[in-house]
Amino acid sequence: MTRNHIALLSAALSLCTVANSQSILGFTSASAAREIEVENKFKSIPNPDEERRQHRIFTQEPHIAGSKRNNELAEYIAEEWKKQGLEDVVIHRYDVYGTNPKSASLEMIAPTHYQALLRETPLPGDDDSKNPAISGAWLGMSISGEVTAPVIYAHSGNPEDYDLLRKNGISVKGKVVLVRYSNPYSYRGFKALTAQREGAAAMLVYSDPQEDGYKKGKVDPDGPWGPEYHIQRGAITYDFMVPGDPQTPGWASIPGAKRIPIEEAVSAPKIMALPLSWHDAKPLLENMDGPVAPTNWQGEDWQGGLPFDYHLGGDRVKAHLKIEMDNGLQPYYVVEGRIRGSELPDEWVVMGNHRDAWVFGGVDPSSGTASMMELTRALGELKKQGMRPRRTLIVCSWDGEEVGLTGSTEWGEQFADDLRAKAVAYINVDEATSGPNFHGQAVASLAPMLEETTRSLQDPSGKTLYDAWKETIEREKKEGAQSSQFSDSGVASETLADTRIGSGSDHTVFLNFIGMPVLGLGFDGDYGVYHSAYDDFYWMNHFGDPGYKYHTLMSQLWGVTALRLANADLLAFDFATYASNIRQFVNELTRANERNMWGQPPSAVRPSEARQPQLDAKAILSAIDDFEAEGKRLNEALARRLSSGPLDPRLAAALNRGMMEVERNWLNPDGIPGRPWFKHILYGARFTYAHLELPGLTEAVEKQDWNTAKQQAEILERALHNNTKLLDELNQQLQP
């Protein structure tokens, strides 16, 4: 072929792609046409009135994990799914170490007396806020106890905050520390562990108006931000060590399972902790003595939104705190339903949302639960009309997510072998919507597929969801340039999907323990009532999604994404994209390592080590190049094969099986050092829940533990080689 021929041919090919708007990654053109028909039918079913009706059912009453109401809702979902046409609907029971509040009291006894309310007052116009079943202030997994001690302000409660206190000669041993939720954000369980390690007797954590209250804008009931009395409940479980039931780390809590003593459970906190509204934190902060809190300590402003100077504290403010918890075994219920695949019933696309809420769960999670009920109704409808997916769709309603990702973890542990053999991917929706801004997460190999899917959906703004998403990301990048908050979201500038996946929701067991590719979908916006009683039906109907349009769009997006995975001829994994993401992760680590080495004072660096970073990434980078080259070859070969008409089913099955293996190969059975449950070597989470790429290697480099770093680098290299070999075998099968 001459150069001219090639030019003509590629012009013709690109015309084809333009003319054929029905092309979908992973589908032959005939199957794509059929798929679009199925998707159009599917998208026409979810509607805002039904979303709202379901949302009302789930937000009618508080439904914390383990409560009667939450268990009734499990029964309700199971019954609805059967009516909708789902198959094999079952309710799984897990007996887990759960947590319930009995009583809590906090009083300031010096310099004046103040009895903390520890309750949320009703809001005018919001009748649900008068519900007597609303709990008081409590944190899941706090221990019981009683203490009378001085109160110290420890800012965000992160380790560096205690360094500043030490510099000022302030010890928190045996004292009560008062910390803020955000600024910067870290998971409250990490704050609790840090306070426990510092020897504090108890931790109080409050919502400063600077972060989610009146300093941000109008507060509920007039706006979306948190009012004076809102209390952010939550668990403090150390699930960054191992999620799920603390007494069954790594195996399922099916009734009768072996259990370790709670004293030996690494994820069970050993400290008292209580959340406060700013109304209750104010008298403590206002009366503190000691040095004035700095406005800039390592870039952080310790002053807050209340109208007085914050102090670090000394002996002046004393408090008496008493917490009684009822922590012990209780049943959690996971509801599972499926639509069996017509052609490949043993390849599974799994979806899930948690059901349990701190109170009503307007956004978290009932917006997701309502979307899930419309998703399943529409899938059932398709099945009734004879449109059964090729692969099996499994949907789960998780329990106890809020306590320690418990239901999904136990279910994942119970079915780990099946999932490793059969699962294509897991799609998580926790909070479906708190506003109009879409954020999609995906392991890097599924990022292109997710982005393509959003092109076929309509955002309420009139744009495609893809264009709306792009605008959101561009706006955040601009804002991020100022605040640097989002500067590390997304890898390549053209990528919209967030391919840096931390923990904090039900995808964790599937990615980190089982080795399944995961996706996470959600819309967000201004939202200051998280985990409070005000996160309810009123809030959603006034601020979050008054027309339930985003709920509807979420049902559509969730379903279309699942249908594409379930119906694809050849699964649309893009391993070349995976490779370029891994390269970026490695390059970032190398740069951080060099900065660390160079940033050290000369005296700390021995002459032989000077300017010699100890992480040599050459071998890894070359293994990534090989993996990328095979990934590109595979992308091209798959596209060629798909464009040349019907596929040999046996070849398709072999290719799909092979591609499903790639994610499993990123697991190291021993786990990452110190956290054996977390087995994925590319994705992990910091103790704060923040994403942590190359977790084992990164933590070793940060500790300058070069032996471990070397081992971890070899594990990564080996996995890259294995996956390169696997892709090479697939490429050979595709040779004409």
Residues found near Zn ion in the complex (CB under 5 A): 364-365, 430
Q: Which is nearer to Zn ion, 364 or 628 (CB)?
A: 364
Q: Which is nearer to Zn ion, 403 or 638 (CB)?
A: 403
Q: Which is nearer to Zn ion, 211 or 364 (CB)?
A: 364
Q: Which is nearer to Zn ion, 499 or 505 (CB)?
A: 505
Q: Please state, in angstroms and as integers, the Cα–Cα distance from residue 529 to each residue in 282, 525, 538, following that order.
A: 18, 12, 12
Q: How far is the CB of 430 from Zn ion (least distance, A)?
A: 4
Q: Which is nearer to Zn ion, 313 or 365 (CB)?
A: 365
Q: What is the DSSP secondary-structure string of 517-580?
A: -EEEEEEE-----TTSTTSSHHHIIIII-TT-HHHHHHHHHHHHHHHHHHH-SS----HHHHHH
Structure tokens at 638: 């798959």
Q: Which is nearer to Zn ion, 186 or 367 (CB)?
A: 367
Q: Which is nearer to Zn ion, 415 or 530 (CB)?
A: 530
Report how far residue 139's alpha carbon sits from residue 204's, in angstroms, rounded to the nearest whole number. 10
Q: Please state, in angstroms and as integers, the Cα–Cα distance from residue 32 to each residue in 39, 147, 289, 432, following that order.
A: 10, 66, 69, 28
Distance of CA 613 to the CA centre of its chain: 33
Structure tokens at 120: 């949320």
Q: Which is nearer to Zn ion, 433 or 495 (CB)?
A: 433
Q: Which is nearer to Zn ion, 149 or 235 (CB)?
A: 235
Whether omega for the bond prior to residue 221 falls within 30 degrees of 0, making it cis, is yes
In this structure, what is the dihedral angle of CA atoms 305, 310, 315, 318, given to the nearest 10 degrees?
A: -10
Q: Which amino acid is at 164?
A: L
In this structure, what is the dihedral angle of CA atoms 253, 258, 263, 269, given to the nearest 10 degrees?
A: -10
Q: How far is the CB of 187 from Zn ion (least distance, A)?
A: 13
Report how far residue 552's alpha carbon sits from residue 47's, in angstroms, rounded to the nearest whole number. 6
Q: How far is the CB of 566 from Zn ion (least distance, A)?
A: 25
Q: Which is nearer to Zn ion, 505 or 555 (CB)?
A: 505
Question: Could you tell me which residues come within 8 angstroms of residue 299 by beta carbon, excluding any fewer than 6 positions away?
Answer: none
Helix/strand/coil for 391: strand
Distance of CA 658 to the CA centre of its chain: 27
Q: Which amino acid is at 724?
A: T
Q: How far is the CB of 522 from Zn ion (least distance, A)?
A: 10
Q: Which is nearer to Zn ion, 51 or 347 (CB)?
A: 51
Q: What is the DSSP secondary-structure string of 139-186?
A: EETPPPEEEEEEEEE-TT--HHHHHHHHHTT---TTSEEEEESTTTT-
Per residue, the 3-state secondary structure of 327-381, as one string, reads EEEEEEEEEEEEECCCCEEEEEEEEEEECCCCCCCCCCCHHHHHHHHHHHHHHHH
Q: How far is the CB of 498 from Zn ion (least distance, A)?
A: 17
Backbone region of residue 158 per phi and psi (left: phi > 0; alpha: psi in -120 to 50; beta: other values)? beta
Q: How far is the CB of 96 from Zn ion (least distance, A)?
A: 17
Q: Which amino acid is at 172?
A: V
Cβ contact 39:32 at 8 Å: no
Q: What are phi and psi of 722, to 5 degrees?
A: -60, -45
Q: How far is the CB of 364 from Zn ion (least distance, A)?
A: 4
Report how far residue 401's alpha carbon sits from residue 409's, in angstroms, rounded to the nearest whole number. 9
Q: Which is nearer to Zn ion, 80 or 430 (CB)?
A: 430
CA quadruple 669, 674, 675, 681: dihedral positive or negative? negative
Q: Which amino acid is at 257?
A: A
Supply the Cα-derived Rg of the chain in whole angstroms: 26
Q: Which amino acid is at 670?
A: D
Cβ contact 552:699 at 8 Å: no
Q: What is the DSSP secondary-structure string of 611-625?
A: T--S---HHHHHHHH
Structure tokens at 497: 């999907």
Give the count of beta carbons closer than 10 Å to the beta carbon of residue 199: 12
Report how far residue 319's alpha carbon sits from residue 307's, in angstroms, rounded to the nearest whole number. 22
Q: How far is the CB of 608 from Zn ion (least distance, A)?
A: 51
Q: Which is nearer to Zn ion, 347 or 430 (CB)?
A: 430
Per residue, the 3-state secondary structure of 281-323, as one string, reads HHHHHHHCCCCECCCCECCECCCCCCCCCCECCCCCCEEEEEE
Q: How far is the CB of 691 from Zn ion (least distance, A)?
A: 17
Q: How far is the CB of 520 from Zn ion (least distance, A)?
A: 11
Helix (H) or strand (E) holding 396: strand 391-398
Q: What are phi and psi of 507, to 5 degrees?
A: -75, -15
Q: How far is the CB of 282 from Zn ion (least distance, A)?
A: 28
Give the count of beta carbons closer than 10 Å to the beta carbon of residue 595: 11
Q: Please state, in angstroms and as integers, the Cα–Cα distance from residue 140 to each residue in 45, 232, 567, following that order.
A: 38, 11, 41
Q: How far is the CB of 354 from Zn ion (least distance, A)?
A: 6
Q: Which is nearer to Zn ion, 161 or 401 (CB)?
A: 401
